[in-house]
Amino acid sequence: MSEKELKRQPRSPSVKTTQILRILGIETSCDETAAAVTENGGKPLSSVVASQIDFHAQYGGVFPEMASRQHILTIYSVIEQALKQAHLSLQEIDAIAVTRGPGLPGSLLVGLNVAKGLALASGKPVIGIHHIEGHIYSAWVETDTATSSLQFPILALIVSGGHTSLILINAHLSYRLLGQTLDDAAGEAFDKVARLLNLSYPGGPSIEKAAQGGNPKAFEFPRAVQKDAWNFSFSGLKTAVLYQIRKLENKHISLPVADLAASFQQAVVDVLVGKTLNAAQTFQAKSVLVAGGVSANKALREQFLIRSTLPVIFPPLDLCTDNALMVACAGYYRYLKGQRDGLDMDAMPTWQLASFT
């Protein structure tokens, strides 16, 4: 399947407003320091992301204290670059949208406090954004390859290092959380299995690369798929990979890394695709949205496009991982709804989408 087919994107829906609204988005929920400016929701005017992957690779995962320190070191220059790219001053921005949660407490506080400081200095309103809602709105960021549009109700799978959630979206800003991970998120399972296979961090791209030369049917790993149960669990799958590795090592057999990676990846893909499409059918969705860092996985994208009878929309690869365009886009719809948050707004590291309206 061609890369072009894998990049099918929605057009940004029309919103009845004659006013030009420019939103500055700030994202620091984990290990990316990001800022971006959008115009009238989906039109990107700028996007800057400072990744910390190299800093955390030595630990095999995100080191929270280091992440917050790096945010402090880079956030002002990232915001300055985003405004410069957009050819705008802070006074020409209509509102500041910032990720409030969920995420790492220290990381969230850096972005949130900077956003509140900018709001106080400029007199612009500040809007707290739910991180998962940001991933949802990554699909409304305009791209040159837009070929189709999302239709409500939408069944959304948000799948990343920290989140695996199934969400029914009936209209803009109207969500019903159907299910989420009970233990490891899918991306977290990728990271842990990558460590077991001595592959580099982050685990998703490493396992995807290793799996290219492997047999996805070499090992029959468990798939926790129950048609009417919408929660996810990947701890059993991770443990099954660990036991298989120990079994091979006890027999002094060289690890078939490619086969193990391919079989693990296929098990994850089967669970994600199976549950999502079952939910889409059960709740009579008209389209499917797959977003978050793991949505960049090519095998996952291919299986969705092969197995789904509904339109399946993926953000472009550079919007799958954490970014500020998605925060700014969500902020636009929150701004139109009238949301304005006070300067006493605090971070919410464990914020549940179910309590978010």
Q: Is 157 helix (H, G, I), strand (E, B) or coil?
A: strand
Q: What percent of the chain has pLDDT over 90?
A: 80
pLDDT class for 55, splitting at 50, 70, 90?
A: low
16 by Cβ neighbours in 10 Å (0-12 / 13-18 / 19+) ranks as: exposed
d(CA 210, CA 202): 13
Answer yes or no: is pLDDT of 8 > 80.
Answer: no
d(CA 279, CA 299): 20
Poorest-pLDDT segment among 146-160, 165-179, 190-204: 146-160
Q: Between 354 and 148, whose confidence is greater?
A: 354
pLDDT of residue 243: 97
HSE-CB of 92 using CA atoms within 13 angstroms = 11
pLDDT class for 73, splitting at 50, 70, 90?
A: very high
- Say if strands 146-148 and 9-10 run parallel, antiparallel, or are unpaired: parallel
Tokens of 325: 């365009």
Answer yes or no: is pLDDT of 14 > 60.
Answer: no
Q: What percent of the chain has pLDDT over 70?
A: 88
Answer yes or no: is pLDDT of 297 > 70.
Answer: yes
pLDDT of residue 19: 85
Measured in whole angstroms, how far is the alpha carbon of residue 355 from the centre of its chain?
A: 19
pLDDT of residue 51: 80
d(CA 223, CA 267): 6
pLDDT of residue 58: 64
Poorest-pLDDT segment among 71-75, 107-111, 220-224, 265-269: 220-224
pLDDT of residue 353: 84
Residue 46: what are its φ and ψ, rounded to 5°? Answer: -165, 160
Q: Where are the alpha helices (DSSP H) in the chain?
A: 3-6, 53-56, 64-86, 105-122, 131-137, 186-196, 203-211, 235-250, 257-282, 298-307, 325-337
Answer yes or no: is pLDDT of 41 > 50.
Answer: yes
Neighbour tally for 314: CB within 10 Å: 24
Answer yes or no: is pLDDT of 145 > 60.
Answer: no
Answer yes or no: is pLDDT of 235 > 80.
Answer: yes
Q: Find the angle CA(311)-CA(313)-CA(318) to the nearest 5 degrees.
A: 165
Domains and CATH numbers, the chain: 9-139+320-349 (3.30.420.40), 151-310 (3.30.420.40)
pLDDT of residue 63: 66
This prediction's pTM: 0.90
87 by Cβ neighbours in 10 Å (0-12 / 13-18 / 19+) ranks as: exposed
Residue 339: what are its φ and ψ, rounded to 5°? Answer: -70, 130
Residue 15: what are its φ and ψ, rounded to 5°? Answer: -125, 130
